[in-house]
Every structure is written in C-alpha cells, then in structure tokens.
Chain A
Amino acid sequence: MATAEIEPAATATPSPPPWTATLHEWLVTVDHKKIGVLYVLMAVFFLLIGGAAALLMRIQLWAPQLTFLPPITFNQFFTLHGTTMVFFVGMPVLIGIANYAIPLMIGARDMAFPRMNAFGFWTTFFGAVLVYFSFLVPGGPPAIGWFAYAPLTENSFARGPGVDCWALGLIVSGIGTTTGAMNFIATILCMRCPGMTLRKVPFFVWVMFWTSLQIVVVMPPLTAALTMLEFDRQLGAHFFDTQAGGSAYLWQHLFWFFGHPEVYILVLPAFGMISEVVPVFSRKVLFGYEFMAAATAAIVVISLGVWAHHMFSVGMSRTLDLFFVAATMLVSIPTGIKLFNWLATVYGGKLVLKSPMLFALGFLSMFVIGGLTGVILACAPIDFQVTDTYFVVGHFHWVLIGGTLFGVFSAIHYWYPKVTGRMLSERLARWQFWLFIIGFIVTFAPMHIAGILGMPRRIYTYGSDRPWEIWNQIATIGALIQAPSYLIFAYNLVVSLWKGDVAGDDPWDAWTLEWATTSPPPPYNFAVIPTVKSRRPLWDLKHPDDPDWKYE
C-alpha cells in the first residue's frame, strides 16, 4: 500500500531508476502484482531445474544397464524432481497467478494482508532454497522419493542431513503456502467490490476460494508429519522408527491425507483458469456456472476422503479398500460435470484460436485421458497390479501436465498482456504448443504400456531380459521433443517484454474486471473502485442492450 503513495501512476519519468533501486523495490514489495510475478518467476526457474533432472533420468533409462547416472544420483534426482515440481513449481505458479489476478478480478486494490503476502512468497522461496541446500551437505540430497516412505527417512537408513534439509524446507515452504491460502480466503471474503456477491465472483476466484480452504485443511497434517519425522531424527522420538516400535503405516496415512488433496490443489486452480479462457475465446458465457460452482465444492469435500487409494497394496482390509474405491470414483462425477460444461461452453460459440485457447484446448483434450486412467487406477484390483509402476507415472503426469501445466500455460498466455502491457509472440507460442503437446504424448503414453508390461517406477536401470527398452526409448525421445518447448516459452516470456506488440487494456475483448484497468495496472489497480451487477461486468458495459444481470 505504501507503494501506491510513493509511485506515480504514469511512467513518464525520462530516465529509468538505477538497477539497485529496482532490485530493492522487488525485494521489499508488498504489491500483490509484483509478488505474483515473483511466484511465477520462481516457478519457471524451478521448472527448468526439475525438467533438467527429468531429462537426465530419461537418458539413464534409454537402454538397459546404462551407467550414465549412478544409482544414488538417480534416486536423488527423482526425489528432487517430484518435490520440486509439486512444491516449488506447481503450487507457486498457481498461487502466483492467483495472487496477481484475484485482487484485479474482484475489483480490489490489493490482497487483504499485503505484508503476509510477501512473507508467504519469501518463506516458500527460502523453503525451496533449504531443500536445494542439501546439495552442500554430506551425503547430498535425500534419496527417499517425494512421498518419503518411512522408515527409509529415519536415521538408520538416511544418515546424512539431506532428509533434514528436505523436511525442514517443506515445513518452511508449507507455512508460506498456508499463509497464502489464508490471505486468499480473507481477500475473497472481504475485499470484493460493491455489487460482487459471492455468487457473482469470476469462476477462477470461486475455485481459488475452495482450493485455499483445502490448503488450510491439509497442509497442517503434512507439517505435523514432517515435524514428527524431525523429532525422530533429531530428538530421538520413535513415531516412524519401526525398529523401536514406530509405524511405517502411520506415515503413509498422514502423508497421503495431505498428498491426495494436494493433487486437487494442483489441478483445481487450472480448472479455474480454463473456465476464464474457454468462455472468452468461444465468445460465450460459461455454461452452467452454478453447477460448476457446486462441482468445485463437491470435489474439495469428497477429495478429503479418498487418500488411501494410494495405499491399496499396503494390505488394508477389503472393506476399507472398497470404501476408498467408491469415494475415489465419486470424485469423477463432479469432475465430469466440469468437463461437460466446458464442452457446452465451446459448443455453439465462435472460436478464437489464439494461444491461450490453444493451450486450453490442449487441456480439454488431454486432461480427460488422465482422468480416465484415474478411474482405471481407482479399481483396487487393477491398482494391485499397476500401482507403483510406470502406468501410475504416466497417469499422474497426464493429470499434472495435461491438466495443470496446460492450464497454467493457457493462463500465462492469457494474462501476460495484462502483466506486461505487451503481447507474447503468437508464432513462438504455436511452436511451443505443438512441440509441447507432441512431446508430452510421446513421453507419457509409452509409460502406460511399460507399466502394464511390469516395469516398476523409481528403478534406476533394468535388465536386458526385460521387454521395456523400446517404450523407454520412445519416452526419452518424447522428453527430447518436449525440452525445447520450455526453452521457447522462457525465451518468449523474456523477449516479448521488448519486442511484443503493445497490448492495450483489453486485448482479448474479455469480460472480467482486470481488463478494465490499464496494462500493466497501476499500483493501486483501479483509480475508482468499480461497481458490478453481474459475473461479467465488462460484458454489461459492452452490451448495454443485452446485459448479463438480466439472466443471472
């Protein structure tokens, strides 16, 4: 808020400020827009690191018995790859985009707690730094897998401080995530502009509200589990120390009680982003807003009761297995509702095939596949066979890339003009899209087959008597096709800052409030706080003869 008073709105100053001043400005900022950009930049940085680790692992699996990566390095890489992509790419990018967009979309001047917002970003960031600090400790990074099953994490099996860096880093970044979520809840409940009732918020805002509730419910169990782990390792407790009567089973329940809803935390905001992009580029209002809204709440509530479907092979009773089968299958109903509503939104519209819509269509066509392999996995007996195999690896990458990442790319291409005042290059975006979607399919489709042919996940190599080589080679080729798409994306983000066409306030002819202010918006967002009457205030403005509020 302080910035709003200091900085004038117009950027008419002839000489740019010295770079130290700019750096200082970014480091101490409490502006939700700058913090949002910092989150996204952090995510892009870690995306490239996590992606590089994945690429090295794919090369190691090119042929049987390669010695490109030593076993311990490979095991450290998949631990870091998973941890990085979930905690330091997925959540930061979603929270970052929401951080930027939500105050603008609800006609507010900032988040409810700007200082806590900055605190949330920096704890997330330093949590990540702490995890990567493990490269500098004896023994190096942990080799425990991202879900870190006990007792592999105990002192008896992981002697170096790598696991401590990992656990403490996740506790710290978890605090950042939780404060971020509380900030969203407070902002969405208290900061909406006049006229915007909770039933009239843009759909992305609604989704972020529920995602934030979910974060607040499931992060504490993770923090508790990690704290118990550190008690074991540093203070001689025995929660998960099976050699002293601790329970390996307990860790799995605690972790997955967080871990499964986490998947929805990663995919629900992408649902919200898609629900903004698809209507604008189909030139139609979102079909069935109320049902979509109810489906969001249903997903959040039901997904809190499905975690043990990650544990079918752990030897629970058949009754318990069947409960989690039924609960898991139930989630597919509200998810299906969403999908059908997006299709109905496209249907009868007028397609504008710009880059945000291209990625949104990638989402619509790919996410459904990840969802359906999820239904296959939810069948416990099938899961007994394919859990912990490459079938699962294929499945969740299909959800997290086919769902989350396509949604995120769509959102970044959609809001970049607002953030920078420049358009991203459509030509580069198309190159990125096609390399990305082709590489993605070629990488992850063969993994399903490898899993059905008996290949477990997390193996650093395989014997030449195993029939998996060809599927691994196709997957590695896919990874090599994908890799340049990320670089093109990063290049496009940078170069369009100078070379992109000037965007103007409303380049997509869109309908939500963020397009009513300048691009980039001034520090105070809106000179006059707007008043709205419907879910699409700019539609009402552009079509005074046929406003939305008559129909809602």
Chain B
Amino acid sequence: MLALLAAASQPENLSILSPASPSAESIKGLLILVCAITGGILVLVEGILIYALVRSRRRAGRDDAEPPQVYGSKPIEIAWTVAPGIVVFVLVLLVGRVLWEVRPDADKPPPGAKPLYVTVVGHQWWWEYRYDSYDGRELGITTANELHIPVSEPGKPPRPVYLNLQSADVCHSFWVPRLGGKTDLLPGRANTMWLQADQTGLFLGQCAEYCGTQHANMLLRVVVESPEEFERYLAEEAKPAIDPTEKTALADKNTFRSLSCVNCHTIRDKQDTRVNGTFGPDLTHLMARKTIASGMVENTPENLRKWVLSPNSIKPGCLMSGFELNEREMNSVIGYLKSLK
C-alpha cells in the first residue's frame, strides 16, 4: 500500500502524497502532521474504550448489585475541555501559516520571478486555455485541454504560473493533485490560483466539481517543460494554421470551411477569419495535442474519425453533435485536421 501511495513519478500517479510543487509539498507536510495528531487522539480514545470495556465486562456477572453511580467530576470535565482547546488553538495557527503559503497574491509575484499568466475557462466538458502573458510579454494564444507550463529550476528565478479561473457555463474545479489544491471555476466570478512545478513531466488531474453528464471525463493534463521547450511551444502555438498549397489539401480545407464545424471551432488563419466559433475548442494546432475529447482518448487518426463521426459514441452526452458527414466530407475533414500541426 505504501508503495502505491508514494509511487514514483509516472503520470498515472495522482497522489497528493507525491508533491511536485511547493504548495503541494507544504500541504503534504500539514497533512502528515495533522494525521499524526488525530491518529494519536484516535489511539487514545479507542484504547480508553477497550480498557473500559474489558474492565466493565469483568465486573459483569460477579453479583447482582449495581456498580457505584458516579455523576461526574468538574476537574475532569475542565481537563478534557481545555486539552482539546489547546490542540485546536495550535492547529489553527499551523493552518493559518500554510494557508498563506499556498494562496499567495497573484498580482505580486516574488521579486525576480518570471510569471506566466493563463486564463482558464471551464466548459461542459473541456478546458480552454488563453495564454495572457509570460515574463512581461503579451501572448494572446488560445488552446485547449493540454496546459503547458515552464518548470521552476532550483537556483534559478522561479517561474510561477497564475491561473485566472472562469467558467462559461456551470461550476467546475481545477485540480491537478501533485501540483497543489483545487480551486473552483464559477460562472460570473474570476478566481486566481497559483501553480508552480518543481519537476518536468506530465501531470494528470480532472474536474473536481460535479458539472453535468460528462463530469467524469473532463480530464486535465498539465505538461511541465524546461524553459527552452516551453519557449518553443509558445512559438509554435503563436503561429497561424498551416496554409495548404497542394490541391487536395486546399480542397479539404474548403470542405471543412463549408461545414457547420466553423460555428463552434476556431482555426487561426492569416487571410481567412471564417473559422471563428468559440463554443468548442480552438483547433489551430490540434495535432500538437496528445489527446482529444478532453483527455479521454489518444489523438490518432482513427479516434479523430470516430469522434467527428459520432462524438457521443466516445463521450455519451457530450455537447458536440455528429453531423452525418458523408464519406467524402469525412475524409476531407480528417485530412484537413491532420494537417493542423
């Protein structure tokens, strides 16, 4: 069990006991301390109970007389009121300290830090990420479902990430256990959340506030990269979609543009702003993402085809409809989507 709990750093590990960020680390410390205190109380109480039972069991049946009636004792009562009171007082102070550690002010990053600001919008049932600025640079990139952030290397300036959490529909909650506690996304309210990763790698999580039919499959993927990789990622994502020149590819694109896909999806394009729906995920660099359907299935051509044909067969209840595309349209759409590197 311990091996499972503390297991190594595979992405399958979502344990809050394997922290990869300063805030998750201090919460783990607090958790262990509080568990030790409550565990001590538990052992004490159960011990007293068992001792009292054994004693009173032994007395039973010895004679018919009732045991001595003890009505109470003021000193004892005061003792077991004051003792928990002291424990509570100490606990509140400890909690206060950790609370201020894990919830720093978003508008005041530590001196020398290179903060990344991302607006996260929860949708039924996927995540929209708008990269606002990084180290003072305006970004204006929109993507979905896979969040890339830079790692904070030891001995170098920290690269804190501040999420501005909003919702387009109902309440959601952003939770990647190894990177810290969760914060809800409420419609009509903007929350902030501090994220800072100490290790590179893929960190999984999922929506933690019930948000409707597919709450279970509103999955989160956070990719923590070295600052150099992250710069490359930003550069790639900032580019507009590849403009096809070859004849069939051009035809595929035109077919896509003629279908209802454009009402919900955006594909950033220098000349053409027709594909500008905002109800669904931005597809400009769809092929840069490892998964589709908010992390449910791998982003392979077969899955993509299955998804476009009938989203409900993969994610029952999902808000994207299958549009009854014919074989020719389907081939064109998949062909075009595959080109969105």
Contacts and interface: CB of A to CB of B under 8 A. Distances in A.
Given A288-B73, A336-B80, A454-B205, A321 B317 contact: no
A313 B29 CA distance: 19
Contact of B209 (A71, A149, A245, A290): A149
Contacts of A434: none
B187 A289 contact: no
A453 B6 CA distance: 9
Contacts of A321: 99, 103
A86 interface: no
Interface string A229-263: 00000000000001101111100000000000000
Interface stretch (B56-64, B131-139, B256-264, B302-310): B56-64
B56 A543 contact: no
Interface in B33-74: 34-35, 38-39, 41-42, 45-46, 48-49, 51-53, 55-57, 59-62, 66-73
A70 B17 CA distance: 33
A180 B124 CA distance: 41
Interface string A119-161: 0000000000000000000000001110001111000110000
A285 B13 CA distance: 53
A348 interface: yes
Contacts of B212: 75, 143, 152, 157
A297 to B, nearest CB: 14
B271 interface: no
Contacts of B71: 285, 287-289, 551-552
A462 interface: yes
A190 interface: no
Interface string B179-194: 0111110111101100
A453 B3 CA distance: 12
A333 B92 CA distance: 13
A388 interface: yes
Query: Chain B: interface residue count, which band?
Result: 35 or more
A349 interface: yes
Interface stretch (B81-89, B144-152, B244-252, B320-328): B81-89
A466 B12 contact: yes
B177 interface: yes
Given A333-B88, A465-B12, A551-B71, A351 B57 contact: yes
Contacts of B184: 313-315
Contact of A381 (B55, B124, B181): B181
A520 interface: no
B191 A379 contact: no
Interface string B215-229: 111010000000000
A325 B91 CA distance: 9
Given A282-B56, A288-B72, A459 B12 contact: no
Nearest to A154: B170
Nearest to A285: B69
B95 A339 contact: no
A285 to B, nearest CB: 5
Interface in B1-20: 1, 4-5, 7, 11-17
A145 B14 CA distance: 25
A322 B17 CA distance: 23
Contact of B84 (A332, A347, A361, A389): A332
A285 B72 CA distance: 9
Contacts of A325: 92, 95-96, 99
Contacts of A337: 77, 80-81
A242 B188 CA distance: 6
B213 interface: yes
B188 A389 contact: no
A396 interface: no
A329 B91 contact: yes
Interface string A449-488: 1001111111111110111000000000000000000000
A397 interface: no
B313 to A, nearest CB: 12
Interface string A254-296: 0000000000000000000000000000111101111100000
A379 B173 contact: no
Given A322-B95, A385-B177, A467-B13, A449 B46 contact: no
A353 B60 CA distance: 10
Contact of B56 (A290, A347, A373, A383): A347
Interface string A369-406: 10011011001111111111100000000000000000
A386 B30 contact: no
Contacts of B213: 71-72, 75, 143
Interface in B158-211: 165, 169-171, 173, 175, 177, 180-184, 186-189, 191-192, 204-211
Contact of A249 (B39, B96, B186): B186
A348 B211 contact: no
Interface string A429-461: 000000000000000000001001111111111
Query: Chain A: interface residue count, which band?
Result: 35 or more
B30 A381 contact: yes
B339 interface: no
B215 A458 contact: yes
Contacts of A249: 186, 188-189
B214 interface: yes
Nearest to B316: A71
A50 to B, nearest CB: 18
Contacts of B46: 365, 368
A186 B285 CA distance: 69
Contacts of B67: 282-284, 348-350
Contacts of B81: 291, 333, 337
B186 A466 contact: no
Interface of B: 1, 4-5, 7, 11-17, 24, 26-27, 30-31, 34-35, 38-39, 41-42, 45-46, 48-49, 51-53, 55-57, 59-62, 66-73, 76-77, 80-81, 84-85, 88, 91-92, 94-96, 98-103, 124, 165, 169-171, 173, 175, 177, 180-184, 186-189, 191-192, 204-217, 219, 296, 316-317
Interface of A: 70-72, 75, 143-145, 149-152, 156-157, 242-243, 245-249, 282-285, 287-291, 313-315, 318, 321-322, 325-326, 329-330, 332-333, 336-337, 339-341, 343-344, 346-353, 361, 364-365, 368-369, 372-373, 375-376, 379-389, 449, 452-463, 465-467, 543, 546, 548, 551-552
20 contacts: A72-B316, A75-B215, A152-B212, A245-B188, A246-B188, A346-B53, A350-B61, A365-B46, A373-B38, A376-B35, A379-B30, A379-B98, A384-B102, A384-B182, A389-B208, A453-B5, A456-B175, A456-B207, A465-B11, A466-B14
Closest 4 CB pairs of A and B: A384-B181, A454-B14, A459-B216, A315-B191
